[in-house]
Structure 1
Amino acid sequence: MIRKASIMKVYEDCYDEYKKRHDDIWPEMEKMLTKYGACNYSIFLDKRNGNLFSYMEIEDEELWEKSAKTEICKKWWDYMKDLMETNEDNSPVSIALDEIFHLKS
């Protein structure tokens, strides 16, 4: 399993809507995430500054990279673009984090 973490940013007045949209995630989006190898996917919000901390485990980096090219992923990005910082293609601005420590139990 590959552990991935990143930071994104949601606009301050959109915290509740961001959570609502994830509470009501589309079944086809959830299916795509698992099809492309994502599991144990969590997003945490720092309400002080709108930073989102995303953590997921994936099976294969090459497979995961293909998920961004799916129609459902592009549709989700379009749906979320008004709530957060995005790139020109509406994908979230995402800063990958390097793993420094991992405790195995």
Structure 2
Amino acid sequence: MIKKAVMMKLLKGKEKEYKKRHDEIWPGMLEMLKAHGVLSYSIFLEPRTLNLYAYLEIENEEKWLASSETEINQKWWNFMADIMETNSDNSPVSLNLLQVFDY
């Protein structure tokens, strides 16, 4: 198992909408994550800065990276683009965090 952490950014005033969309996440999106080796995936919001911190446990890096190329993931990025900072392809602007402690 590989542990990953990523930081993303939510747009101001979009906190409730972000939560709502994840409360109603598409079943196909969850199926895709499982098929691409995601064992667990949690996202946390720091409300003062609107930084999102995602923590994932994955089977392997190659399967995880391939998830971004799936049709459903592309649709999800497009669906979320109006409430997050995104790149030109609508992928979230993200920063991989370095692990400095594990117990």
Aligned to 2:76: 76
How far off is 1:40 after superposition? Answer: 1.7
Give runs of ≥4 in structure 1 deviating > 3 Å. none
CA distance, structure 1, for counterparts of residue 49 and residue 39 of structure 2 = 27
How far off is 1:69 after superposition? Answer: 0.3
Instruction: Count matched residues.
Output: 103
Q: Residue 13 of structure 2 aligns to a residue in which SS?
A: helix
Give the TM-score normalised by structure 1. 0.97
Aligned to 2:17: 17
The residue type equivalent to 1:102 in the other structure is D
Aligned to 1:100: 100
String of CA shifts for 1:16-51, please: whole Å, max 9, x gaps. 000000000000001000100112210000010100
Structure 1 portions without partners, runs of 5+: none
Structure 2 portions without partners, runs of 5+: none
Give the TM-score normalised by structure 2. 0.98
Give the alignment of 1:81-92 within 5 angstroms: 81-92=81-92
Measured on the aligned residues, the alpha-carbon RMSD in Å equals 0.5
